Amino acid sequence: MASTPVPAGRGGTAFVLGGGGVLGAAEVGMLRALFEHRVRPDLIVGTSVGAINGALVAADPAPSAVDRLRAVWEELASQRIFAGSVLARVGTLVRTRTHLHPREPLRELLEAHLPATTFAELRVPFQCVAASIERAAEQWFAEGPLVDAVLASCAVPGLLPPVELGGEHYLDGGLVHSIPVGRAVALGADTIYVLHVGRIDRPLRPPTRPWEVALVSFEIARRHRFAADLAALPPGVTLHVLPSSDQGPPAAGDLRNLRYRDFSGVPERIDRAYAATRDYLARAGTSADEGV
């Protein structure tokens, strides 16, 4: 499957929603603040959990989307998606040899809450990215079945199985493009709001424990791509990196990504991100003049 061609852009406002698992709840607070300031997107691009949040907003680009997203996160918090005892998860791993959880609960959640089944039904143009196993390359989805594409973008290695589409297998988009600012630029956006989970705000330090090696390695890769996109930002493009107000230790000691089933901090994370983004937009003087 060839990557979706990039159409010629004519400017406009883009929301870029990054990946980050449970930390992605912060994006709900950011979206609330954006809508309250009457900032509307002309384009949305998303990765991993940002693809979930982004697809819901693209289907309903209004404050009501925040309420719908809260309902989604409440269901995630109930652990229905990543439910099961340790024995059940180990049983799934032994049976499949590749992952701990089936994808069906996440599919059911998306189908229940997304008011669209295809990209063509969305009210705002939306694209999400996944990593092709066979081509070792990014694959952008902009047409066809919506849920399948979002599931591909969210297929976290080891947690969920790869998604097969058109004879090709896909894993989580964060492997190739965790905060896809470059895609928004390529699609012609001239005002970009970056919704991220906060990890880029915390300094990295050398790993001291076995599990930190993989975490730090992934952080280097994702931050390198983001930094490259920022360095290549063309003249005339206005970039707003919204504050998540995330609180935590330096990234090498942060175990929250390993606690992927712990949604206890979701309400507080949403509220902190909302307050921080609201204050940022007030200082920036952002108004209804942005977006549609």
**Tens digit of pLDDT for each residue in 23-61?**
889 999 999 999 999 999 999 999 999 999 999 999 999
Chain-centroid distance, C-alpha 238: 21
pLDDT attached to residue 10: 64
Please indicate whether residue 284 or residue 288 has the higher confidence score (pLDDT): 284
d(CA 248, CA 202): 8
More confident call, 104 vs 292: 104
- The rounded radius of gyration (Å) of the Cα atoms in the chain is 18
Euclidean distance between the first and final Cα of the chain, in Å? 33
Torsion sign across C-alpha atoms 100, 105, 106, 107: positive
Q: What digits encode the pLDDT tens for the residues 260-270?
A: 445 567 888 89
What pLDDT was estimated at residue 40? 95
Contacts for 223 with CB less than 8 Å, ≥ 6 apart: 200, 204
CA separation for the pair 15, 192 (Å, rounded): 6
pLDDT at residue 8 greater than cutoff 50? no
Per-residue confidence (pLDDT) for residue 265, from 0 to 100: 72
Write the DSSP symbol of residue 114.
-
Position 253 scores a pLDDT of 45
pLDDT of the residue at 91: 53
Closest among 138, 184, 195, 157 to 19, alpha carbons compared: 195
Q: What proportions of the chain, in percent to the nearest 5, are helix, strand and coil? A: 45, 15, 40
Residue 271 has pLDDT above 60, yes or no: yes
Q: How far is Cα 24 from Cα 183, in angstroms, rounded to an integer?
A: 19
- The mean pLDDT of the chain is 83
The yes-or-no verdict on residue 241 having pLDDT over 70 is yes
Query: Looking at the predicted structure, is the pLDDT value of residue 120 above 70?
Result: yes
> pLDDT-based confidence at 145, cuts 50/70/90?
very high
| Average pLDDT of the residues in 86-101 | 54
Contact 146, 114 (CB under 8 A): yes
Average pLDDT value for residue range 97-108: 72
Where residue 256 falls among pLDDT bands split at 50, 70, 90? very low
pLDDT for res 237: 96
pLDDT digits (tens, 9 = 90+) for 121-135: 999 999 999 999 999
